[in-house]
Amino acid sequence: MANTLLEIWRDQPKFVEAKSFRQIIQLAGDGRLRDGNGTSQELRDWLGVIPLERLRGCVDECLAESFDDGPLALQDATNEIGARLGLEVTRGRYRGVKGEIGNDGLWRAADGFSLLVEVKTTDAYRINLDIIAGYRDALVAKGKIEAQRSSILIAVGRQETGDLEAQIRGSQHAWDIRLISLEALLRLADVKEELSDSETSKVTSNKINSLLRPMEYTRLDGIVELLFAAKKDLEAPAAVAPPIQVELPGPSSTSTPTEIERARDNAVVRIGDKLGTTFVRRGRAVRVSRDGTKRLVCLASQRYEGPGGSNNYWFGFTPAQRTFLAEGGQGWVALVCADSGRIYLVDWDLFKNWLPDFWTTPPAPAKEGDVRHWHVYFNDHGSRVDLMKSGGGLLVDLVQFLI
């Protein structure tokens, strides 16, 4: 049996990376995109796990070159951007069929608001807005969406969309339709991926998604609040300093933030190989399997000088990360030593029982709802790795969790 595109990508990543998007489509199934066939499923599975920059390259190729199935592949890539924004995506048909609703995608937010999505490579041709509005009416009639909690989003390849904007403004559908370039969608997805894994980042993420909906812009406070929240969240340090109760002489490694992130990304691949799955980035440290059944929080730390010649590592685990793991199926917490690449992988069902024993910020006896971080701290002595309790004392030897 021939390997799927995803299997080829896992086993021969350099081979796949050297291929154009058009060539990659030809590696999937029979090489032709059709509604409901294996090629489309393989391509969507692959788009779901590749880095965002690779996804951007796929979009750019579809817009820069004309090739068979290019518009269909662009439709799939655009729907994947919606998934990267944290929206529940229902993919539409490639080609219209009598009796079927012909929208390209349907994106649903956590609050239930739905976006009927249409993908256009260019605005060179006039679009029949009545047909697109008819798709929305049909979905309302079938009970798939609510009229008052839905709108239309047209995603276009070109940045210069003056003619289409004028067409929308002059139509009876002006309030229900919004227009966005694919580049802008990719930028929003990029911001979404860089948000820290905190409770406030959830609010910021929801505000980002709300930009895709029709809104009244007479008062601009909401947009200013979003920009401020995103700036604050993106400036949050990736590394968490030790709690105030502990004094360390400082980091003994020179791992840069880029190197720490690279160590995290490499660890995610190794963990995926061990667990037989491929994880997709959903935040700075959170990952989810393509089918949504497995969740991972991957924490990375530089090395600190410790007593007795030991190497110390500090990680911050947040309430938002706990919620993320608690809401999923199987879950794990990974502790990655950025300088050495060592990975300690702990099942969530076990890790959650350790939380009461960790230091917190603010320090205990702070109420649980006030906790910003649990501090995961261990001393690496070589032959043993001591995970420490707050106030001192050994919690467990982590060597058994080394992969």
Per residue in 124-157, pLDDT tens? 667 899 999 999 999 999 999 999 999 999 999 9
The single-letter code of the amino acid at 136 is R
How much is the CA Rg of the chain, to the nearest whole Å?
24
Q: What is the DSSP string of 211-256?
A: TTS----SS-HHHHHHHHHHHHHHTS-SS-PPPTT-----BSS---
Q: Count CA atoms within 13 Å of residue 311 on its CB side.
A: 15
Predicted confidence (pLDDT) at residue 278 exceeds the cutoff of 90: no
pLDDT at 235: 56
Q: Is residue 138 a contact partner of residue 92, using CB atoms and an 8 Å limit?
A: no
Take residue 89 and report the two structure tokens written for it. Answer: 């995506």
In which residue are the tokens 């994106």 written?
107
What's the farthest any 2 CA atoms get from each other in the chain?
A: 75
Instruction: Assess whether pLDDT exceeds 80 at residue 306.
Output: no
Q: Where is pLDDT greater, at 1 or 132?
A: 132
Six-digit token string for 134 = 């008819």
Separation CA 42–CA 28 (nearest Å): 6
Nearest residue to 83 via CA among 62, 58, 55: 55
**Per-residue confidence (pLDDT) for residue 3, from 0 to 100:** 86
Give percent of the chain above pLDDT 90. 52
Residues 104, 121: Cα–Cα separation, whole Å: 13
- Phi and psi dihedrals of 317, rounded to 5? -110, 130
What pLDDT, in 10s, does the model give residues 83-106?
A: 999 899 999 999 988 888 999 999
CA distance 315 to 336: 9
- Please give the pLDDT value at position 211: 87
User: Under a CB-based contact definition with an 8 Å cutoff, are residues 126 and 118 in contact?
Assistant: no
Where is mean pLDDT largest: 182-191, 331-340, 356-365?
331-340
**Confidence tier at 192 by pLDDT (50, 70, 90):** confident
Say how far apart CA 292 and CA 89 lie, in whole Å. Answer: 13
Q: How confident is the model at residue 308 (pLDDT cuts 50, 70, 90)?
A: low
Going by C-alpha positions, the residue among 236, 212, 172, 175 that lies closest to residue 86 is: 212
Name the percent of the chain lying above pLDDT 70: 87
Name, in order, each residue with C-beta under 8 angstroms of 269's C-beta and a sequence gap of 6 or more.
none
Please give the Cα distance from 158 to 385 (Å, whole number): 54
Amino acid sitting at position 88: E
Is a pLDDT exceeding 90 seen at residue 41? yes
Three-state secondary structure string covering 127-144? CCHHHHHHHHHHHHHCCC
Q: What does the block give as tokens for 193?
A: 């991926």
Give the tokens for residue 111. Answer: 């609050």
Between CA 63 and CA 121 the distance in angstroms is 6
Question: Does the pLDDT of residue 47 top 90, yes or no?
Answer: yes
